[in-house]
Amino acid sequence: MNLVIRRAEARDVPRMLELVRELALFEKEPEAVTVTEGEMRDAGFGPRPVWFGWVAEERSRESTESNESTESAEPGAPSGLLGMAVCYERYSTWRGRCLYLEDIVVTEAARGRRVGERLFKACAAFALDQGHHHMLWQVLDWNTEAMRFYVRLGATFDPKWVNGRMTREDIERLVGNGG
């Protein structure tokens, strides 16, 4: 088998959503995933996409040799997505464009095969190519394996910034639409 890292396509969304659910289960929040397949597809491939990403696809050698380009897969369903990385662009008034890595997920069965590293490097190469000043992402404070992974790749963690968040209900209350 051969691992190919390629840009995500609309046909990948069902498996990508499965990977998101696998991540949510790992992060002990399986019921927190509320996005539908249609919403995810529209947000990535609809008229106003807000995310883009890469997938790690395991293919047989025969299909890889018959398809010389490793950037796009053959028509039809992917043969086996083992991981994904989803990103979007952010803007810093101090630094300019930056790449935000929303999620990088590798299915448990494929961990230890450097799938995550290859996905991360695809994101990093894109950031360089697009002239982004830096990359950002979050890691749960108890996920020491993920922290070690990022540190091994040369990342640092910023202890000064605290994440802020408002739910939709909080926003509705704030603007007076909540009742």
Q: Which class for 62: exposed (0-12), middle (13-18), buried (19 or more C-beta within 10 A)?
A: exposed
Backbone angle region of 96, left / alpha / beta, with phi > 0 → left and psi within -120 to 50 → alpha: left
pLDDT tens digits, 137-168: 999 999 999 999 999 999 999 999 888 999 98
Q: What is the rounded average pLDDT of the residues 106-121?
A: 95
- Closest-CA residue to 116 (of 102, 99, 104): 104
Give the residue extent of every domain in the chain.
Answer: 2-175
Q: Is the pLDDT of residue 57 over 90?
A: yes
Q: Which residues contact 6 (CB under 8 A, 6 or more apart)?
A: 54, 55, 57, 70, 71, 72, 73
User: Which positions are catalytic?
Assistant: 150
Give the sign of the dihedral formed by CA 139, CA 137, CA 30, CA 23. negative
pLDDT for 69: 40
Do 91 and 97 contact (CB within 8 A), yes or no?
yes
Q: Which percentage of the chain shows pLDDT scores above 70?
A: 88
pLDDT for 164: 92
Instruction: Return the CATH architecture of domain 2-175.
Output: 3-Layer(aba) Sandwich (3.40)
